[in-house]
Structure 1
């Protein structure tokens, strides 16, 4: 069926949602936008789907949600024991249509006689992960588009372990979804009927309390003599209540909230991007921090799985830490407060684009480091595997501001990280140091690691083709050198081959296949290229290490310039 035929199918359907029908009629004079809305089905990837809100098969709407949940329902009926009785937990964030999509998901599950546990109000992603485990559910659904722009929403699927579905699970669910020919024909039960017969149960406070009790277990030290002043912004998202309660229960009482950003707002009206990776998101927190003389500023993204932190520098202002810096500080703080027996068989888990400084810190405490592909789902999978081995999860992080401390959650958790970072800042304040000064101590010990990331956004059908062309060119014509340094090895994660150029040796990469290319240079510096799985972007990651901050900055700049020239040449 052509995209024009699909448009006709939608417009001729007498039962279609009135709001979507009106939006569809508004698109009739914009053929390019109409084609983009219908030329393909919204991609259901390895963790779920994410897209622009609106009518069409390539958009987020009640029908694409129903289709996804129909596929999930069929999958868990066949693969999860007692799926109907155990049910599925559903949570949602502050975005447009989030609550409506959560109810639509429950209605489709109900048509299969599968119980749905739905939070009565918005909740963070890590709480959804915790809830699946706490309620012994068969699966979980999170309605969120994380830190994407306001016009986006998304749908993430979690397995019975509370982690994002594995590649094999995702493939089986995707197969079920793709077998559904007509998204407009998916059956959805009536909400009132489901509530009356117990197939839709509203949940909240009891699960919150259980999570907060578990949160106490990540505390390393008693926060006695607490004199830390904290500024917190949830960036119009879901973290407000749980972060404040988590901080209070471990003794932090000097917490100032950025009131303009405290309430949920699907427009994220005070920031250009609700992403704590972007320094502009901290502007209001920095202003309030100056007013109250805060020691630390903490900010969470809308679904509260990512945490950004800013701390005082020597110029009476605040510096936002990178995800690599904060993760390394948290790792060192936690390992330094463990006895040797507690670290026995311990594992740090990080992604292939996360700083190598974590490996150096972990090694100094006798802790091994495991690498995974990009995405916290792979970290969650490793934790699950540890339940049947003699290994112990000690910490997990990725460069994109995601951290996990206690494995009672199986995804990155900004609530945990907010509490842990505040405890760590309080510890160093007692020692007369800021977090930046503590970081400098680590650099002096392990070397001056420096990372960077460049992102190229290419939207729409043409953008997809350009991203594919970039990856194909890099794969077919690999860099011989970067920044004046010879390439020592090329890692192609799509073919699972590591080519050691200086030794003329080929090795297998024991990780799942993914469209990623990584180049390791003769001094250990590295560059990695990967298309984003959730946004129309291709990302370039960089890592260097030298004996000084200045030398690292210079080396990073040279490598980035070479990569930019190549990107410009490919894209024209």
Structure 2
């Protein structure tokens, strides 16, 4: 820690604003230690952290370090093809434009061109742009739905997907060899432009993306679309332009914008959290929806890869659908309107996503593939399907509000999903049904699948230790029973082993190693523990199924209480 701090203190060329903030941090020893005790970790998709001076914070120097590692990887992997360059986009957060330019400046020092958007853009458009421009990769500066004090550096490969583990490992090795982030060579903006190592992306990519967007509706736009009343909030982020244009070109005319949240705002000043998973983010959308009599409310997170949807429940109140609920509705709508489902069709979901998706897919004769948590794994499988030709991708989703319908992008796409979910709502409105009434029909057909998520934030060095201790405890003394449900199997994704408890047998899990434990319980129920890869959190996922809603609700609550009581005890013991 001391070595890193001294290096920053003694560098006479360090950014003045960072130097000033560093001076104030000296009166906060715990904060200072956390900012310098290590390098901000470059993980399997990039890095994310709080904005501040320090080797363990997001700032221009840690961004340069990440970009340098990526540049070295590109040189080693692509050789002369590095001339194809990378695409870079950024969102509405503090320092996003600056970090995007820093990335270009580092790439330029390696002779790697950067195609940089001339203004903020959604993350899924970055994914699309990489494929459209035939670049060797890309970067988006975003911290997704994290609090305002965060930003991040997210890396994409030449297919437009988030980098999978084997690529991430090579980049991480390059990054970790860089000892001094303060001395990384850069080329300034004006010189980059002279050398044509910086090229600006304007509206061309927007238009091509919107053309592709027309295909996901399969020409189903009808009079019902024009009659649907929509409230939309981009939650101060990047989605406004493309969502509105996408809806209009699909025949939607009654689009009401939450004006207080329409403009980019790095402080996300009207919400506690700019996350459509958090129902409070819909407060203003609900107010507007009530005033205009909207049929559906849609909200996107700041970088527009996640979509939340609210609709009226049986009592006429707006209620936010969970990611699992919206996912199965979209899947069922897609498959029920597809008259030519290929025999090798495959739906992809993550291991913590509802099993109801599998039931819906099976109903239409479509197979389901599970991946680890993270849309990068879904994108990786889509590419594999194309290369091998054994399966055809039809839909991908994860419980954390990420969906993909058309594979012209290779990351979760809230622009696509906004248009598709609105069309679905228009269809059901024409049938005299709300989305919740349509969901009830699916429950009656497939069973009452209910899910929930608990998360525990444990910040700093001690927090990281506690998370490790909780995971170790559940590995060393695994659940045998919970809420009167027997544990049938234990899936340890770190060891990549599935243990069948009754038979006493084991089998390999054909997925990359990940610090996740999942307990498969009787009666189609399950529990999963997973530390977050982007925040100082550990997450606890619960899944339940029964033949009626009341039983599922009671069992789900009992299951949560059983597991979280043990977690609380472990947390208290480690304080």
TM range (shorter): over 0.9
Q: How does 1:208-287 map to 2 (within 5 A)?
A: 208-225=206-223, 226-287=226-287
**Are the counterparts in 2 of residues 335 and 343 from structure 1 also a CA contact under 8 Å?**
no
Measured against aligned partners, the alpha-carbon deviations of 1:11-56 in whole angstroms (never above 9, x if no partner) come to 1101100011111111111111110000000010000000000100
- Whole-angstrom CA distance in 2 between matches of 1:403 and 1:191: 36
**Are the counterparts in 2 of residues 83 and 114 from structure 1 also a CA contact under 8 Å?**
no
**Are the counterparts in 1 of residues 314 and 436 from structure 2 also a CA contact under 8 Å?**
no
**Are the counterparts in 2 of residues 443 and 449 from structure 1 also a CA contact under 8 Å?**
yes
Aligned to 1:179: 177
Measured against aligned partners, the alpha-carbon deviations of 1:547-568 in whole angstroms (never above 9, x if no partner) come to 1111100000000000111101
**Are the counterparts in 1 of residues 8 and 14 from structure 2 also a CA contact under 8 Å?**
yes
Q: 2:199 is paired with a residue of what secondary structure?
A: strand
Aligned to 2:418: 418
Q: CA deviation at 1:221?
A: 4.4
- Whole-angstrom CA distance in 2 between matches of 1:375 and 1:113: 32
- Whole-angstrom CA distance in 2 between matches of 1:424 and 1:562: 38
- Whole-angstrom CA distance in 2 between matches of 1:9 and 1:224: 64
Aligned to 2:298: 298
Residue 171 to residue 190, structure 1, CA distance change in 2 (3 Å): same
Q: CA deviation at 1:204?
A: 2.3
Q: CA deviation at 1:355?
A: 0.3
- Whole-angstrom CA distance in 2 between matches of 1:184 and 1:14: 11
Aligned to 2:348: 349
Q: 1:541 is paired with a residue of what secondary structure?
A: strand
Cα-Cα RMSD: 0.8
Q: 2:411 is paired with a residue of what secondary structure?
A: coil
Q: How does 1:313-462 map to 2 (within 5 A)?
A: 313-339=313-339, 341-387=340-386, 388-462=388-462
TM norm structure 2: 0.98
**Are the counterparts in 2 of residues 220 and 334 from structure 1 also a CA contact under 8 Å?**
no
Q: CA deviation at 1:80?
A: 2.2
Q: 2:341 is paired with a residue of what secondary structure?
A: helix
Q: CA deviation at 1:84?
A: 3.0
- Whole-angstrom CA distance in 2 between matches of 1:6 and 1:219: 53
- Whole-angstrom CA distance in 2 between matches of 1:78 and 1:504: 46
- Whole-angstrom CA distance in 1 between matches of 2:449 and 2:29: 49
Aligned to 2:141: 143
**Aligned pair partner of 2:163 in 138, 162, 165:** 165
Q: 1:343 is paired with a residue of what secondary structure?
A: coil
**Are the counterparts in 1 of residues 335 and 341 from structure 2 also a CA contact under 8 Å?**
no
- Whole-angstrom CA distance in 2 between matches of 1:527 and 1:434: 31
Residue 221 to residue 440, structure 1, CA distance change in 2 (3 Å): farther
- Whole-angstrom CA distance in 2 between matches of 1:393 and 1:48: 26
Measured against aligned partners, the alpha-carbon deviations of 1:215-260 in whole angstroms (never above 9, x if no partner) come to 0110134322131000000000000000000001110010000000
Q: CA deviation at 1:513?
A: 0.5
- Whole-angstrom CA distance in 1 between matches of 2:472 and 2:316: 47
- Whole-angstrom CA distance in 1 between matches of 2:42 and 2:570: 28
- Segments of 5+ residues of structure 2 without an aligned counterpart are none
Aligned to 1:310: 310
**Aligned pair partner of 2:119 in 105, 118, 121:** 121
Further displaced range: 91-100 or 381-390: 381-390
- Whole-angstrom CA distance in 2 between matches of 1:99 and 1:212: 24
**Aligned pair partner of 2:10 in 9, 12, 17:** 12
- Whole-angstrom CA distance in 1 between matches of 2:220 and 2:490: 47
Measured against aligned partners, the alpha-carbon deviations of 1:332-370 in whole angstroms (never above 9, x if no partner) come to 00000112x433210000000000000000001000000
- Whole-angstrom CA distance in 2 between matches of 1:424 and 1:522: 34
- Whole-angstrom CA distance in 2 between matches of 1:200 and 1:380: 28
**Are the counterparts in 1 of residues 145 and 275 from structure 2 also a CA contact under 8 Å?**
yes
Aligned to 1:197: 195
Q: In the alignment, is residue 516 of structure 1 matched against residue 516 of structure 2?
A: yes
Measured against aligned partners, the alpha-carbon deviations of 1:291-319 in whole angstroms (never above 9, x if no partner) come to 11000000000000000000012323201
Q: CA deviation at 1:439?
A: 0.4
- Whole-angstrom CA distance in 2 between matches of 1:325 and 1:434: 13
- Whole-angstrom CA distance in 1 between matches of 2:522 and 2:311: 35
**Are the counterparts in 2 of residues 300 and 414 from structure 1 also a CA contact under 8 Å?**
yes
- Whole-angstrom CA distance in 1 between matches of 2:76 and 2:316: 60
Number of aligned residues:
569
- Whole-angstrom CA distance in 2 between matches of 1:505 and 1:435: 43
**Are the counterparts in 1 of residues 314 and 437 from structure 2 also a CA contact under 8 Å?**
no
**Aligned pair partner of 1:93 in 69, 91, 94:** 91
**Aligned pair partner of 1:23 in 21, 32, 38:** 21
- Whole-angstrom CA distance in 2 between matches of 1:524 and 1:365: 20
Q: 1:486 is paired with a residue of what secondary structure?
A: strand
**Are the counterparts in 2 of residues 489 and 501 from structure 1 also a CA contact under 8 Å?**
yes
Q: In the alignment, is residue 530 of structure 1 matched against residue 530 of structure 2?
A: yes
**Are the counterparts in 1 of residues 87 and 116 from structure 2 also a CA contact under 8 Å?**
yes
Q: 1:80 is paired with a residue of what secondary structure?
A: helix
Q: CA deviation at 1:83?
A: 3.6
